[in-house]
A and B are shown apart, each in its own frame.
Chain A
Amino acid sequence: MSALALWSRRYGAMIRNAWLVDLQYRAAIVLWVLWGVTEPAIALGIWWSIAGDGAVGGYDRADFARYFFGVMLVNALTIAWDSWQLDRWIREGDLNYRLARPLHPVHEALADNLAYKARSAGTIIIVWLVAASVWPAVRLPLEPGRWALVALAVILAAAMRFFISFTTGLLAFWTTRATAIMELHAGVSMFLAGRVAPLALLPPAVATVAQVLWFPYMLAFPVDLLTGAAPTGAALMRGFAGQLIWLAIWITAYRLAWHRGLRRYGAVGG
Chain B
Amino acid sequence: MKRLDVQALKRSVGVVAALVRLNVAEELQYRANFVASLLGTLFWIGTALLTLALFFRHTTRLGGWDFWEVVVLLGVFNALTGVIEAVLRPGIGQLASEVKSGALDLVLARPVDAQLLVSLRQLDLWRFTDVILGLALSAYALERLHRTPTILQVAAFLVALAAAVLVVYAIWVALMSLAFWFVSVENLSVLFDAVYEGARYPVTAYPGALRFVFVYLVPIAWTTTIPASALTGRIGPAIALGAAAVGATAFFLTRLLWRTALRRYTGASG
Contact = CB atoms under 8 A, between A and B. Distances in A.
A35 B191 contact: yes
B14 interface: no
A57 interface: yes
B36 A180 contact: yes
Nearest to A59: B58
Q: How large is the interface on A (under 10, 10 to 19, 20 to 34, 35 or more residues)?
A: 20 to 34
Interface string B190-210: 110111011011000111001
Contact of A180 (B40, B63, B184, B206): B40
Given A190-B51, A203-B57, A46 B187 contact: no
A27 B184 contact: yes
Main SS class of interface, B? helix
Given A45-B210, A196-B51, A27 B185 contact: yes
Most buried by B among A25, A38, A46: A46
Most buried by A among B186, B193, B194, B200: B194
A8 interface: no
Interface in A3-47: 24-25, 27-28, 31-32, 34-35, 37-39, 41-42, 45-47
A180 B43 CA distance: 11
A184 B39 CA distance: 11
A191 interface: yes
Interface in B25-57: 36, 40, 43-44, 47, 50-51, 54-55, 57
A47 B201 CA distance: 12
A17 to B, nearest CB: 19
A187 B50 CA distance: 11
A120 B135 CA distance: 38
B62 A24 contact: no
Given A35-B193, A38-B194, A201-B57, A49 B185 contact: no
A217 interface: no
Contacts of B194: 31, 34-35, 37-38
Contact of A39 (B43, B197, B201): B197
Main SS class of interface, A? helix
A201 B187 contact: no
Given A48-B207, A49-B206, A201 B193 contact: no
Interface string A188-202: 001100001100011
A253 B119 CA distance: 44
A48 B208 CA distance: 11
B54 A197 contact: yes
B188 to A, nearest CB: 7
B207 A45 contact: yes
Contacts of A191: 47, 50-51, 54
B252 interface: no
Contacts of A197: 54
A172 B193 CA distance: 26
A177 interface: yes
A73 to B, nearest CB: 17
A46 B55 contact: yes
B59 interface: yes
Nearest to B178: A27
B165 to A, nearest CB: 22
Contacts of A39: 197
Contact of A24 (B184, B200, B201): B184
Interface of A: 24-25, 27-28, 31-32, 34-35, 37-39, 41-42, 45-50, 56-57, 177, 180, 183-184, 187, 190-191, 196-197, 201-203
Which 3 A-B pairs rank lowest in CB-CB distance, beginning with the nearest? Answer: A38-B194, A35-B194, A27-B185
